[in-house]
Amino acid sequence: MPETRRALALIQRYTLSLTQAKTVDQVCWELTKNVIANLGFEDCVVYLFDPVKQVLVQKAAHGPKNPISLDILNPITIKPGEGIVGSVFLSGKHEVVSDTSLDKRYIVDDQSRMSEITVPLLSRGKAIGVIDSEHPKKNFYTDEHLSILSTLASITSNKIVETRAFSQLEELNEALHTKQDDLIGKNKELEALNQQMDEMVYRLSHDIRSPIVSIISLINVLEISPDKIEDLLPHAKNNLIKMDWILRNIYYYSDSLRRSLNIEEINFEDLLESAMNTVHEVSDKVANVQFENRSGQALFSDAWAIHIFLVNAIHNALTFGGKPADDLQLKLELLRNDQGLVLRFSDNGLGFIKGFEPREHEMFRRGSVDSQGAGFGFFLCRTLAKKIRAEFSIETSENGVVLQYVFL
């Protein structure tokens, strides 16, 4: 049995060392390895209650139960009320058993021993665990042992409660930071969306009003000169077609925000036919798109999103390619590169005028100062790309425009 002065010195060092402990495990192992081991005890186990499993779990040990490092040999669990350990946990009162052979509650762990001392770890009068020590000799434990272990139990339980509180506080802070980051991200998204909506309202008020004003002007001319109807009807038709295309893309955009994905194998023959029919509703030019699957694979994606991509790609080529339809070469390819599976649409049009290169991240961007388009199509393609987990890119040169989706 160590002298009282030596025991007090160990307790003082233990108290100071706990200032460095950051986890409950560190607290428990500090107790068993650096305090209990120097008090002359042959065996000691710290149990903590697991509220989820509703059992007492061995968290740290000294003696045969701790053969190496921070390992516990064949760890066991004990239910509250079971054995001497479980009884002390339930009662919250220490027990010293001088002869375990006479106590039916005794549970053999790694080996049978004759004496046992068990002290509860209390927090606000409620046990959160126990410190348990056994010895092969009968009547080994004294009042001094009990006093020392009770002091250590008080220090240990306070530190465990403090450590758990700090851990919970850190988790709460981390959760708050995560939520704060999420809110900042959501706010930025809302700001970007509001900016896009402001831009949409401003531009659409002009782009929709412009053909309406033109048609009204044509009607005014017809009221004065009815004989000019044959000359003016094509102009009226073009303005209505332009308005139809703008409204169609607005619908596509709105639909893309709320439509659920439907992943399926893409039938390019059917999609190309559908896309060309849609373009022909707003264009007199006839498109002929050649398709080639160079990947040897099928593409599984959302057919509606691919349809809108093709519609905008074909419409852009026919409307702004700068060549007669017969001279345009439109090609759709499915291929694989280092990035992944790629859906590439290319034309041999004139490309974009220098200084008016596409910025697909903008909601409205025209390919030239003379362009009559609303500039909405590329933004729509990028929006859909995000939804189907693809990256949208544009390449332009004097040899034409290349639009592609790279599937991630």
- The answer to whether residues 305 and 256 touch, using CB atoms and an 8 Å cutoff, is yes
Segment 158-176 shows an average pLDDT of 90
Which runs of consecutive H residues, i.e. helices, occur in 259-302? 268-280
pLDDT tens-digit series, residues 59-95: 999 999 998 889 999 999 999 999 999 999 999 999 9
Question: What integer best gives the mean pLDDT of the chain?
Answer: 86
Give the angle 128-129-130 at the CA atoms, nearest 5°: 145
Query: Looking at 141, 172, 203, which one is the last position of a domain?
Result: 172
Residues 147 and 289 in one domain: no
275 is a domain residue: yes
CA distances from 209 to 215, 364, 365 (A): 10, 16, 18
Query: Looking at 154, 172, 190, which one is the last position of a domain?
Result: 172
Residues 271 and 130 in one domain: no
Write down the pLDDT at residue 1: 45
Extract the tokens encoding 346. Answer: 């290319």
Extract the tokens encoding 407. Answer: 């599937």
Write down the pLDDT at residue 361: 46
Residues 399 and 265 in one domain: yes
205 is a domain residue: no
Write down the pLDDT at residue 241: 77
Residues 268 and 406 in one domain: yes
Q: Which of 401, 365, 362, 355 is nearest to 382 (CA)?
A: 362
Numbers of helices and strands, H then E, in the chain = 8, 13
- The domain in which residue 8 lies consists of 4-172
Residues 46 and 160 in one domain: yes
- Does 290 have pLDDT greater than 50? yes
CATH code for the domain of 40: 3.30.450.40
Burial of 80 (0-12, 13-18, 19+ CB in 10 A): middle
The total number of residues written for the chain in this structure = 408
- The answer to whether residues 34 and 9 touch, using CB atoms and an 8 Å cutoff, is no
Write down the pLDDT at residue 200: 66
What's the CA gap between 301 and 389, in Å, rounded? 9
* Residue found under tokens 């740290």: 60
Bridge-based pairing of strands 330-336 and 289-293 is parallel
What's the number of domains the chain is made of?
2
Residues 155 and 280 in one domain: no
Residues 151 and 265 in one domain: no
Residues 165 and 268 in one domain: no
254 is a domain residue: no
What are the φ and ψ backbone dihedral angles of 339, each rounded to 5 degrees?
Answer: -80, -30
- At 407 the three-state DSSP class reads strand
149 is a domain residue: yes
* Residue found under tokens 């375990």: 100
238 is a domain residue: no
Stronger pLDDT, 337 or 197, i.e. the higher one: 337
Write down the pLDDT at residue 354: 59
CA distances from 51 to 26, 70, 107, 116, 255 (A): 20, 23, 22, 25, 49
pTM: 0.50
Residues 160 and 270 in one domain: no
Distance of CA 242 to the CA centre of its chain: 41
Query: Looking at 172, 206, 236, which one is the last position of a domain?
Result: 172
Write down the pLDDT at residue 368: 43
233 is a domain residue: no
**Tally of CB atoms within 10 A around 112:** 12
Write down the pLDDT at residue 360: 44
Residues 168 and 294 in one domain: no
Bridge-based pairing of strands 263-265 and 289-293 is unpaired
Distance of CA 325 to the CA centre of its chain: 47
Residues 147 and 266 in one domain: no
Between 175-184, 189-198, 274-283, 350-359, the lowest mean confidence (pLDDT) is in 350-359
DSSP string across 75-136: --EE-TTSHHHHHHHHH---EEES-GGG-TT---SSS--SEEEEEEEEETTEEEEEEEEEES
* Residue found under tokens 């186990």: 45
- At 349 the three-state DSSP class reads coil
* Residue found under tokens 């707003």: 282
186 is a domain residue: no
DSSP string across 223-249: HH-GGGHHHHHHHHHHHHHHHHHHHHH
**Tally of CB atoms within 10 A around 189:** 10
271 is a domain residue: yes
What are the φ and ψ backbone dihedral angles of 85, each rounded to 5 degrees?
Answer: -60, -50
Burial of 158 (0-12, 13-18, 19+ CB in 10 A): middle
Distance of CA 363 to the CA centre of its chain: 27
CATH code for the domain of 375: 3.30.565.10
- The answer to whether residues 244 and 282 touch, using CB atoms and an 8 Å cutoff, is yes
Residues 167 and 44 in one domain: yes
- Does 106 have pLDDT greater than 80? yes
DSSP class of 341: E
